[in-house]
Amino acid sequence: MNTDKMLITQRPWYRRYAFKQYSAILIVLIGLIVIGTVLSYQSFFTLTNFTNIIRQASIIGIVVIGATFILISGGIDLSVGSNLILSSCSAALVLTQTGNPLLAILLALAVGTAVGLLNGFLVMRFKIASFIVTLGIGQISLGLAMFITGNKIISISDKVFSGIGSSYIFGFLPMPAFICILVVIAGILIEKKSTLGRYIYAIGGNEEASKLSGIDVNKFKVIVFSMGGLFIGLAAVVQLGRMSAASNQIGTGAELEAISAAVIGGTAITGGYGSVIGSIVGVVILQILNNILNMMNVPSYSQLLLKGIILIGAIIIYQKQQSKY
Amino acid sequence: MKKTILTIILAIALCAMLVACQAAPAESSAPASEAPAATSEAPASTEAPASSEAAMPDPPVSIANGEYTIGFSNASVSNPWRVVFTDTLNYVAENNPNVTLYTTDANEDAQKQLADCEDLISKDIDALVVSPAVTGALAPVIDMCKEKGIPLVVVDRDIGAEGYDAFVRTDGHILGEAIADSVNNYFNGTAKVVYISGIAGSGPDNERNEGFYDQLKKYPGIEVLATQAADWDPTKSLTVMENLLQGYPEMQGVVCTDGTTAVGAWQAIQAANRTDIVLFNMDNTRNDSLQMTLDGIIVDTSVENAIYCGAWAMNVAIDLLNGKTLKSPEVMIPTPFITKDNAAQFMDPSLAATDYPWKGLYKDSMETAYPEIWN
């Protein structure tokens, strides 16, 4: 049927804009699964393997939701990795000293949000580009983490945290993946159903116009960075549960992974475009790629090469797509 | 729209084909062909894999009694030492036609390594060999291996928890202690030295530092003027040494914690015309630092983290699968003391200066120490 002249709400569900927007990335995802199955059938297409993949993708999955909103709003957060490290190290220290898991979880969330808040505040107050601010805050956070841990690794052993890292819900769903799914749902609600979401897109699309139309750009910038920080704190809790250890080496590079996943998922670095679903699919795509290359015994420098190629390819394709709008 | 989807699919298919073509030869044994360090050098090595069924390769390896699949989760191949370390592992696999080796490499990322181990275990391997990127972050792997009932061999760096079947390495404390003794003997009890350490926070670095400083407590006359970290990198140690020479001109000796550090430090010393300064070294497997020992520039080294611990780990895994039992899960590789007198037998002049000649030491260790670890 010719849906071009219908209103979006009149179209059947498979012809709505939303689906069309995601179709490219979903095709890539399905394509990868097909390739993986073809290349190493017995190891790839098993429940264990898929469970592994979604469990492995969860930590960056949680982080990427916050990172996506920051990117959509026109900013960028390069302090993600260091924030993850600082939050997880603080939580681990508190846990080893007090033995109270709840306190550790709250501290991780608090530290993550605090760093995010600091990022947002500096961007808003001094009008410095978020690139520079987050770069600097990232160094500070990392240095702070090295200081509080004495450059040593903090191992923890706590039932709540190991439950978070390795238990299963409904029998088959790993807990980290479950938490990630909850965050994704929250992200989708914010993106599509809330004023916050719409304002974030507006600010990213055209900051001047947003300001002139009455949106408190400053307030929302601080909010979006703090929200990113909160999600990082949550990811730190999951990471601590999964690794049973925190140190200044566990979590480095997370910002690059998150931004790559977001870009592959359709988020524009310049702001204004992007989606939570696209980003989470981007994370899963990267993780499946990792998995396939591991299954095929490919050394890790080839994996780096491939990720870089795909990242650039994705940007070029999305740019071509956007120029049609 | 259709064109873009087509482009994406074609791009991914192209990448997949490139990767598949490269990975195909690697399926039979881990990608040894990428290693720039030559492992097929002249002295006493018949590496024809086909003939290993008839004759034991030289240096020897453990031969598998059945068809085994072994997974190896490497921390990284981010420096030449690790490349040769991985080669020693591949050497055992290549000379064992019944063994299939799956290798993953985590680029020093603890989370990737955890994911790598999960992936390897889900491939139904018979044994797992791990060189942890970050000590203490891979405790879940021990539980995973117990669940699956497969032996876990930890090599090179500490996994930071109990429950493995074997931990193959040398204890860095021995090195530190031996060199502390050496410094004391050379200077007859009174000296001012500086100490250049390695990658802060890593197992070997901690052990060597601890061993050295603990032993040094016995020698109150030896004063350590300064300690700096050079990450076992010759470029960094050059800079560090230059700064130390500037700041502490009264130093008489330098204690280096590995051969590459000594090479960099010596360059700085020569440039500053301070060749009166004596070097001590803890870990000396490179051709050029062995040469320096031969020339008398480096006084005494004890060899640690024997680069062939990879081969030992594979041999241990194979023998564990063959049904043998270990006397103790702590498998210590011997630490020979290298001086001017015996450095020559460990060198291999046919290799480049920056290469690691490991076969001589490996063969020695397999003939003397290896049979002792089993019941």
Would the pLDDT of B17 be above 90?
A: no
- Strands A168-169 and A173-174 come out as antiparallel
Q: What is the pLDDT of residue A222?
A: 94
Give chain B's mean pLDDT. Answer: 80
* Closest by Cβ to A320, choosing from B4, B140, B200: B4
Q: Which residues of B270-288 are buried (b: 16+ CB within 10 A; e: fewer)?
A: eeeeeeebbbbbbbbbbbb
The band of B66, judged by pLDDT with boundaries at 50, 70 and 90, is confident
Would the pLDDT of B242 be above 60?
A: yes
Question: What's the pLDDT tens digit per position in B80-102?
Answer: 788 889 999 999 999 988 999 99
Instruction: Compute the distance between CA of residue A106 and CA of residue A103 in angstroms, rounded to an integer.
Output: 5
Question: CB–CB of B110 and A249 under 8 A?
Answer: yes
Three-state SS at B155: strand
Of B172, B191, B175, which Cα lies nearest the Cα of B183? Answer: B191
Of A193, A232, A283, A204, which Cα lies nearest the Cα of A82? Answer: A232
10 Å CB burial of residue A325 (0-12, 13-18, 19+) is exposed
CB proximity list for B355: less than 8 A, separation 6 or greater: B37, B38, B84, B286, B287, B348
Distances (CA, A) of B353 to B37, B38, B357: 11, 12, 10
> Helices A195-205 and A47-72 meet at what angle, rounded to 10?
60
* Chain mean position to CA B202: 13
**Does the bond joining A101 to the residue before it have cis omega, within 30 degrees of 0?**
no
Question: What's the pLDDT tens digit per position in B259-281?
Answer: 888 888 888 888 888 888 888 88
Instruction: Compute the distance between CA of residue B239 and CA of residue A201 in angstroms, rounded to an integer.
Output: 49
* Closest by Cβ to A52, choosing from B111, B119, B161: B119
CB B157, CB B203: distance < 8 Å: yes
Q: Kind and range of the H or E element at A65? A: helix A47-72
The arithmetic mean of pLDDT across residues B5-12, rounded, is 69
Instruction: Compute the distance between CA of residue B193 and CA of residue A13 in angstroms, rounded to an integer.
Output: 77
Q: Which residues of B211-226 are buried (b: 16+ CB within 10 A; e: fewer)?
A: bbeebbeebeebebee
A243 touches chain B (CB under 8 A): yes
CB proximity list for B200: less than 8 A, separation 6 or greater: A151, B229, B231
Q: A146: nearest CA in chain B?
A: B201
Would the pLDDT of B285 be above 70?
A: yes
Question: What's the pLDDT tens digit per position in B108-122?
Answer: 888 889 999 998 998
| Phi and psi torsions of B228, nearest 5° | -135, 150
Q: What is the pLDDT of residue A138?
A: 95
Three-state SS at B243: helix
Instruction: Compute the distance between CA of residue A95 and CA of residue A91 in angstroms, rounded to an integer.
Output: 6
Asked whether the CA dihedral A259, A263, A266, A271 is positive or negative, the reply is positive
B64 DSSP assignment: P
Distances (CA, A) of B97 to A65, B49, B151, B309: 48, 7, 20, 21
| CA-based nearest distance B27→chain A, Å | 6
| CA-based nearest distance B343→chain A, Å | 35
Q: Which of A297, A309, A316 to mutate to test the interface with B (most CBs of B within 10 A)?
A: A297
The arithmetic mean of pLDDT across residues B339-365, rounded, is 78
Q: B101: nearest CA in chain A?
A: A297
Q: A320: nearest CA in chain B?
A: B4
Q: Count CB neighbours of B173 within 10 A.
A: 18
Would the pLDDT of B19 be above 70?
A: no
Q: Kind and range of the H or E element at A298? A: none
Q: Kind and range of the H or E element at A279? A: helix A276-295
Q: A155: nearest CA in chain B?
A: B136
Q: What is the pLDDT of residue B18?
A: 60
10 Å CB burial of residue A277 (0-12, 13-18, 19+) is buried
Would the pLDDT of B331 be above 60?
A: yes
Tokens standing for residue B118? 């999960």
Of B187, B303, B297, which Cα lies nearest the Cα of B252? Answer: B187
Would the pLDDT of B45 be above 60?
A: no
* Closest by Cβ to A52, choosing from B1, B11, B118: B118
Instruction: Compute the distance between CA of residue A222 and CA of residue A209 in angstroms, rounded to an integer.
Output: 19
Three-state SS at B90: helix
Question: CB–CB of B119 and A151 under 8 A?
Answer: no
Q: What percent of chain B has pLDDT over 70?
A: 85
Instruction: Compute the distance between CA of residue A288 and CA of residue B75 in angstroms, rounded to an integer.
Output: 20
DSSP result, B157-195: S--SSS--SEEEE--HHHHHHHHHHHHHHHHTT-EEEEE
Instruction: Compute the distance between CA of residue B119 and CA of residue B14 in angstroms, rounded to an integer.
Output: 24
Instruction: Compute the distance between CA of residue A64 and CA of residue B195 in angstroms, rounded to an integer.
Output: 44
With contacts defined as CB-CB under 8 Å, which chain B residues touch A24? 1, 4-5, 8
CB B252, CB B277: distance < 8 Å: yes
The band of B332, judged by pLDDT with boundaries at 50, 70 and 90, is confident
> Helices A101-126 and A159-166 meet at what angle, rounded to 10?
70
Per-residue pLDDT of chain A (325 residues; tens, 9 = 90+): 565 666 666 666 555 555 566 777 888 888 888 888 888 777 788 888 888 889 989 999 999 999 999 999 999 999 999 999 999 999 999 999 998 999 999 999 999 999 999 999 999 999 899 999 999 999 999 999 999 998 788 888 888 888 888 888 888 899 999 999 999 999 999 998 999 999 999 999 898 999 999 889 999 999 999 999 999 999 999 999 988 888 888 888 889 899 999 999 888 888 888 899 999 999 999 999 888 888 777 777 778 888 888 888 888 887 777 665 4
Q: What is the pLDDT of residue B73?
A: 94
Instruction: Compute the distance between CA of residue B270 and CA of residue B184 in angstroms, rounded to an integer.
Output: 24
Q: What is the pLDDT of residue B20?
A: 54
Distances (CA, A) of A137 to A60, A131, B5: 20, 10, 39
Instruction: Compute the distance between CA of residue B246 and CA of residue B266 in angstroms, rounded to an integer.
Output: 15
Residue with tokens 């605090």: A114
Instruction: Compute the distance between CA of residue B15 and CA of residue B301 in angstroms, rounded to an integer.
Output: 48
With contacts defined as CB-CB under 8 Å, which chain B residues touch A35? 12-13, 16
Q: Which of B5, B9, B10, B12 to mutate to test the interface with A (most CBs of A within 10 A)?
A: B12
Could you tell me if residue A11 is left (phi over 0), alpha (psi between -120 and 50 degrees) or otherwise beta?
beta
| CA-based nearest distance A285→chain B, Å | 11
Beta bridge partners of A155: A245
Instruction: Compute the distance between CA of residue A252 and CA of residue A141 in angstroms, rounded to an integer.
Output: 12
| Phi and psi torsions of B351, nearest 5° | -95, 165
The band of B36, judged by pLDDT with boundaries at 50, 70 and 90, is very low
Instruction: Compute the distance between CA of residue B59 and CA of residue B50 in angstroms, rounded to an integer.
Output: 16
| Phi and psi torsions of B279, nearest 5° | -105, 140
- Give the end-to-end CA distance of chain A in Å, rounded to a whole number: 22
Lowest mean pLDDT among B46-50, B142-146, B347-351: B46-50
CB proximity list for B58: less than 8 A, separation 6 or greater: B44, B45, B46, B363
Tokens standing for residue A88? 């997880």
Please give the model's pTM, rounded to 2 decimal places. Answer: 0.77
Q: What is the pLDDT of residue B315?
A: 92
CB A280, CB A183: distance < 8 Å: no
Q: What is the pLDDT of residue B117?
A: 93
